[in-house]
Every structure is written in C-alpha cells, then in structure tokens.
Chains A and B, each alone.
Chain A
Amino acid sequence: MSRNPTAAAASRAADEVVRFDGVAMRYGRGPDVLKDVSFSLAPGSFHFITGPSGAGKSSLLKLVYLAAHPSRGRIHLFGHDLARAGPAARPKLRRRIGVVFPDLLLLEHLSAFDNAALPLRIAGHKPAEYRNDVAELLSWVGLGGRMDAMPPTLAGGERQRLAIARAVVNRPEILLADEPTGNVDHEMALRIFRLFVELNRLGTTVLIATHDQDLIARSGRPVLHLEHGRITHRAAQPTQPSLGLGLT
C-alpha cells in the first residue's frame, strides 16, 4: 500500500536540515536567478556550493538564511515549511542559523567583542554566561588582541574573521558562509576551514559558497555546482582523509 506522496515529502523534510523542491527566485520583476532548484542537506553534512559569478550562489544562501522569499517552489528548514511559517516563527529559525554574509555586515560602532557576542545577546543569554567563550573564540580566530577594536580599524582579513566568529559563536545548527575565505591568506583560510570542520564534527551542518576550487578539492566534501541559476551537478565526493588540511 503506497504512502501519501505529500506526507512522505513532509516526513523526508523533517529529517533534513534544508530541503529545496523546485525552487525559483527572482528580484522584483527581473528574470529568475534561481530556476527549479531541488536539493537537500542532511543533519551534520558539509557541502560547498560553487559556480561562476552570477550563477545564483548568494541568492540560494539568502533563501536559506531567510533574507529572501522564493518566487516558486517550496523550502523546508529544520522540517518547517517556510511557506507556512508565520512572521513570528522566522526569528526563532534565524537563531538556529549562523551566517557569514558576503559583505560581512559588521556593526561599525560596536567593538569586535560586541560584534562577536551579538547573536548570544539576541538569544537572551547573560554576559557572564558567554564572555569567556566569546573571548576564547576571538583569540582562536586571531583577534585576541583586537577585542576592543572597532571594525573600521580592522584589516580586511580581521574583519572577515570577526564575521566568522559572530556566525559560529552560538554554535548554530547550520552554518552558511558566502566566500568566507575571500580576504584572508592561505594559512588563515585553512585555519578558518578547520573551524568549520570542527563545528561540523560537533553536529553543525555546513554550507559554504566559494570560488576556491583548491580548498574544495583538498577538502573532499560534496559540491553543489550552480550555473545560470540551476544545479548542474552534485559531486558527492566522499569525505576523505586530510589532503594537507589537517582534516582527520
């Protein structure tokens, strides 16, 4: 006896962190920047999205971190159908997501420490509960001596690392990063990547949009390749031992 297809889809979505079914997206009345995109991310998975500039990588991430609405199709996040999630549900979903925004979105009038601690404040934690963790995280990303520095005084790579620290500080269930290693040197890129891997090992699902083919190749993680708004192929590379990244 066959199951109801809708119920089966809902059941599948409940087991997945992210599920896209035939999703399209456009800005205003412009052309579709994403066309019929379908994929899913299992809990604890680690994926890259790659593709040429304008392929739709950032738009796809925007849909996942709830900064945009699809024009067609259906998105499930943590088992919730976003079309049915009311405005009250969206902030709660956002708190479960860590995002490294393409333009970083640091608050220029707040110190590096305040910027990094921001998601924890929003989540309602008390300073005494998290300040040691924030300090340790900032030290880990190489900003231990710049905690009271204001973002305008930070170098490009430092700003990027601060944005990453803010994205991971509350140990999100899914981490989305748009070109997270774009402004850092190779050594720091590997260090940041190791942070993502460590978070992934702790159970965080990771989705990174990047052009860094070298990093992708050396990581051995699966890749969603976007071109002209469509996923042209999904390279399901098996997780493999370290290829110089220190990933074990």
Chain B
Amino acid sequence: MSEAPKTAEAFELTRWKPAPFLPERDGRDASLVFVVAVLCFLACLTAMGVIAADRAARGWTGQLTGEATVIVRPRGGETPDAAAARAAEALSGTAGVAEARALEPAKAYDLIRPWLGDVSDLEDLPVPRLVAVTLDPRHPADARRLDAALKAQSIDATVDDHSIWIKDIRKAGGRVRALGLGVFLLIAAAAAAVVAFATRAGLAARHDVVEVLHMTGAEDGYIARLFQVRFARVAGLAGLIGAIAAAVLGAALRLAGGGGGLTPALPVAWSDLIAVMPCPLIAAAVAAAAAHLTAVRLLKGMA
C-alpha cells in the first residue's frame, strides 16, 4: 500500500471531497417545507396581529386617560351656559389640566339626540352642560382633584375620568394579548411537533445511515448533529418562506389601510413587519432541538 493505483486517476482522487452522510436532497423535504412554512406564516400573522391589537388597546387607553368630561348642573338663577363657563374657568387653573373647554349646547344636544330622537323643543329640556377637560399628559390631574376644584367654586358637577372604560379596555387589551400569545404558542408548538414528527420519519427513512454510522463507532451526539443541522436548515428555509409571505401580506394590509393601518381596530404599522424577522431563526432552533431530542431518544433505543 505504498502508492495510489493508476486506476484511481479516472476517479480524480486529488479532487475527491467527502460527501455528506445524509443525502443533500430528499423528496420528503418539499412537503415538510410547505407545512412548516404555512405554520410559520400563521405564527407571523398572529404575532403581527397581537402587536397591532396591543397598539390599538394602548391607543384607546391613552386617548381616554388624557381626557375627562365634567357634567355641570346650574344652581339657583345661574344659566347652564354660565355654570359651564365658570366650571371651565375653575378647571383651567387646576394643576394637571392642560385645557378645559365648555362644549357648545348644540354638541350636548347632539350627544343626547340618539336617545331622544329629533325633538324640536330640545332646548326646553334641562340638558346639563359638558366641559371637556384635556389633562396634562405628564402629570394628569385625577378625578378627586378636579372634583375638589369644582366644589371650591360651589359648582354642582360630576367628573367622569373614564376610569370605568379604561379598566374595561385594559382588560380587553390584556385578553387580546393573552389570546394572541396563546394562539402563537399553539402554532409554534404545532410547528415543533411537525418538525419532531418529520425528524422521526426522516430517521426511520435513514435508518441505514444511522445504523452504519452507529456500528462504525460514531457517537450518538455526532449522528444526532447530522439530523439536527439537516432539519434546522429545512425549517429555517421554511421559516424564511413563511416570514416573507407574512411580511408581504402585512405590507399589503398596511398599504390597503392607508395611514390608519387596516382598520382602527387593527392598526398595522410598518414596524410590525419587523416581528417576522426572528421567524426563520426560531423555526431553525425549534427544529434543531426537536431533531436532536428525537435522534438521541431513538439512538438510545439501539444497542
């Protein structure tokens, strides 16, 4: 065994490089890529939906927390408009209030008209006047302080700081977030299960490789790594396809919805598209972990 034989020349021995132990292409990969890509697409859409819903909930809460409404009832011989003007003046000088403005009577009538209908002598009804208060966003005054300011001026009024709505909206926002996260985790778990199942099938289909490598002294970790890298690549590619598809759809929704996003209830922003970026990496990581665990468990079953 001193020199290479002449017959090896046709083989181009010097150019030989070890071939990968696992076939580079497998007919089953296409269906796996499709299924994982669909799951990644759904997961990305869910993630973008959760972000948009969270933004909507924050927006609503922000609008409500920045404002308060004061219902003013005139006392004695004071006219409703005079009472409202006095309340607006009292509140304007209160700390934590950026602006207090008495609403015109017409606006108050507009607010109650849906309940009473188009009544011609609406002006004759004792409709309370409203004062719209815009709070200082940095140090907003609370309802108690506004109430104290009004009482100090002997104004009969009720302060509504929207706290009942804020609580409900916050609760609804939290539920939307939790629901979205739950759906996202469910889809991620389904993707992981599909990858684990595919890995098991791949190992079964490549039992010959596993057996030969095992019998020639390859360590379990070495064999598991082959499958880990293989399935991480496949899932990473699938994740990339799913993420791009979701980003394209998100961009289309953003464009279709104009400046406000898809709808005021689900305001998609350009920045939401960033949410799809980790998808290929997460898909690859999940696939690698599932492949490793499956391969190691199967290898432990061998002698």
Which A residues contact B (CB, under 8 angstroms)?
A: 65-69, 87-88, 91-95, 99, 101, 105-111, 113-114, 117-119, 121-123, 127, 131-133, 135-139, 144-145, 147-148
Contact = CB atoms under 8 A, between A and B. Distances in A.
A213 to B, nearest CB: 28
Contacts of A145: 7, 10
A67 B303 contact: yes
Interface string B191-214: 000000000000000001101111
A226 to B, nearest CB: 21
Contacts of B217: 91-95, 119, 122-123
A113 B10 CA distance: 13
B216 A119 contact: yes
9 contacts: A68-B303, A94-B217, A95-B217, A101-B215, A105-B211, A114-B19, A122-B213, A122-B222, A132-B4
Contact of A107 (B5, B18, B208, B303): B208
A135 B19 contact: no
A91 B219 contact: yes
A106 B211 CA distance: 10
B242 to A, nearest CB: 29
Nearest to B209: A107
Interface in B122-170: none
Nearest to A149: B11
Given A132-B3, A135-B8, A145-B10, A109 B218 contact: no
A137 B215 contact: no
A26 to B, nearest CB: 14
A133 B216 contact: no
B29 to A, nearest CB: 14
Contacts of B11: 113, 135, 147-148
Given A110-B21, A139-B7, 15 more contacts: A66-B215, A68-B303, A91-B220, A94-B217, A95-B216, A95-B217, A107-B209, A109-B19, A117-B18, A121-B18, A132-B3, A132-B4, A132-B13, A136-B4, A147-B11
A135 B3 CA distance: 9
Interface residues of B, number: 30
A167 B218 CA distance: 15
A190 B154 CA distance: 120
B16 interface: yes
B16 A136 contact: no
B253 to A, nearest CB: 45
Contacts of B19: 109-111, 114
A55 to B, nearest CB: 21
B1 interface: yes
Interface string B1-35: 10111011011010011110101000000000000
Contacts of B211: 105
A145 B9 CA distance: 9
4 nearest A-B pairs in the assembled complex, by CB-CB distance: A144-B7, A95-B217, A94-B217, A139-B5
Contacts of A95: 216-217
B16 A131 contact: yes
A68 B214 CA distance: 12
A77 to B, nearest CB: 13
Given A68-B303, A110-B19, A105 B4 contact: no
Nearest to B11: A147
Given A108-B208, A135-B13, A127 B1 contact: no
Contact of A136 (B1, B209, B214): B1
A121 B217 CA distance: 10
Nearest to A112: B11
Given A122-B213, A123-B217, A132-B4, A109 B23 contact: yes
Contacts of A67: 215, 303
Contacts of A91: 217-220
Contacts of B216: 94-95, 118-119, 122
Contacts of B8: 132, 135-136, 138-139, 144, 147
B15 to A, nearest CB: 10
B17 to A, nearest CB: 7
A92 B8 CA distance: 31
B212 A107 contact: yes
Contacts of A93: 217
Given A67-B303, A147-B11, A135 B5 contact: yes
A163 to B, nearest CB: 10
B20 to A, nearest CB: 9
A133 B1 contact: yes
Contacts of B214: 94
B303 A135 contact: no
A106 B212 CA distance: 8
